Structure 1
Amino acid sequence: MLTNRHSSMDVQYFQTQRPWLSLYGMRIRPIPPLGSFSSNPPVDLALIHQVLSDDLLFEIFVRMTPYGLGVAACVCRKWRYATRNPVLWQKACLTTWQIFGVEENLQMVRSSYGGSWRRMWIMRPRLRFDGIFVSRNTHLRTGVAEWKVLNPVHLVCYYRYIRFYPSGRFLYKVSPHRLKEVAKYLHGKGSMVNSVYAGRYTLDHNNNQVDATTLYPGLKTVVRIRMRIRSTTEGANNRLDILAIVTSGIQEAEIGGHEEQVLEAVEGWQEDETHNPDVPAVSHKRGLAPFVFVPFHEVETSDLNLPVEKMDFYVPG
Structure 2
Amino acid sequence: MSAGTSDIPAPEQEPAELARFREQWKAEVRQRQAATSGPQTQPVPSGSATAERAVSPARSDTSTKTATITNTLSASRGPATHALAGAPAVLAHASHGQSHLSPTLAHAVEVYRKAAFHEQHSQLDEALRLYRQAFRLDANVDRAYFIEEQRAQERSAAQPATHKKIPSAGSVDAVTRGVEKLEVHQDSKDKSFVTSGVLAHVLKDFPENLVFEPEDEKGGRPPINLVPDELLLQIIRTLDYASIERFAAVSRKARVLSLDTAIWRDFVHLAYKPPQIADDESITNIVESYNSDYRKVYIEHPRLRLDGVYIAVCHYMRMGSSENAWVNVTHLITYHRYLRFFPNGQVLSLLTNEEWQPQTVIPMLKPNLRMKGFYIGDWYLSGSTVYITNLTEKRLSSAHATAEPQQNKYVFQMTLSLRSRPLGRWNKLDFIGYDSVNVEDGEAVPLPLKNERSFWFSKVKSWAGY
Corresponding residue for residue 226 of structure 1 = 415
Query: Hey, what's the Cα distance between the residues in 1 that align with 2:392 and 2:332?
Result: 29
Query: Hey, what's the Cα distance between the residues in 1 that align with 2:371 and 2:450?
Result: 26
How many Å apart are 1:159 and its aligned residue? 0.8
Aligned with 2:436: secondary structure?
strand
Query: Hey, what's the Cα distance between the residues in 2 that align with 1:292 and 1:166?
Result: 19
- The reply to whether residue 212 of structure 1 matches residue 382 of structure 2 is no
Whether the 8 Å contact between 2:347 and 2:378 is mirrored in structure 1 is yes
**Any unmatched runs of 5+ in structure 1?**
1-26, 31-43, 252-273, 298-317
Aligned residue type for 1:152: V
Query: Hey, what's the Cα distance between the residues in 2 that align with 1:28 and 1:134?
Result: 41
Aligned residue type for 1:291: F
- The reply to whether residue 250 of structure 1 matches residue 424 of structure 2 is no
Query: Hey, what's the Cα distance between the residues in 2 that align with 1:45 and 1:194?
Result: 61
Runs of at least 4 residues of structure 1 off by over 4 A? 27-30, 146-151
Q: What are the within-5 Å matches in structure 2 for residues 1-40 of structure 1? A: none
2:442 to 262, 271, 275: 275
- Residues 227-257 of structure 1, C-alpha deviations (whole Å, 9 max, x = no match): 1111222222121111111122313xxxxxx
Counting matched residue pairs gives 229
- The reply to whether residue 182 of structure 1 matches residue 371 of structure 2 is no
2:308 to 131, 135, 159: 131
> Which structure has the larger Rg over C-alpha atoms?
2
Query: Hey, what's the Cα distance between the residues in 2 that align with 1:239 and 1:28?
Result: 37
How many Å apart are 1:148 and its aligned residue? 7.5
RMSD: 2.9
Query: Hey, what's the Cα distance between the residues in 2 that align with 1:74 and 1:234?
Result: 17
Corresponding residue for residue 18 of structure 1 = none
Corresponding residue for residue 376 of structure 2 = 198
Whether the 8 Å contact between 1:191 and 1:197 is mirrored in structure 2 is no
Aligned with 2:256: secondary structure?
helix
Whether the 8 Å contact between 1:201 and 1:211 is mirrored in structure 2 is yes
Q: Larger % of helix: which? A: 2
Q: What are the within-5 Å matches in structure 2 for residues 62-211 of structure 1? A: 62-99=237-274, 100=277, 104-110=282-288, 112-146=289-323, 150-176=327-353, 177-186=356-365, 188-193=366-371, 195-205=373-383, 208-211=384-387
- Residues 193-218 of structure 1, C-alpha deviations (whole Å, 9 max, x = no match): 4754332111111xx11111221255
Aligned residue type for 2:221: L
- Residues 94-149 of structure 1, C-alpha deviations (whole Å, 9 max, x = no match): 22212146971112111x10111111111111111222111111111122335778
Cα distance change on mapping 1:106 and 1:185 into 2, 3 Å: same
Query: Hey, what's the Cα distance between the residues in 1 that align with 2:256 and 2:315?
Result: 47
- Residues 33-79 of structure 1, C-alpha deviations (whole Å, 9 max, x = no match): xxxxxxxxxxx8313444x4433322322222222222221223222
How many Å apart are 1:167 and its aligned residue? 2.8
Aligned with 1:237: secondary structure?
coil
- The reply to whether residue 292 of structure 1 matches residue 459 of structure 2 is no
Whether the 8 Å contact between 1:95 and 1:166 is mirrored in structure 2 is no
Aligned with 1:98: secondary structure?
coil
Aligned with 2:424: secondary structure?
coil
Higher relative contact order (Cα pairs below 8 Å, separated by 6+ residues): 1
Query: Hey, what's the Cα distance between the residues in 1 that align with 2:347 and 2:311?
Result: 13
Whether the 8 Å contact between 1:190 and 1:196 is mirrored in structure 2 is no
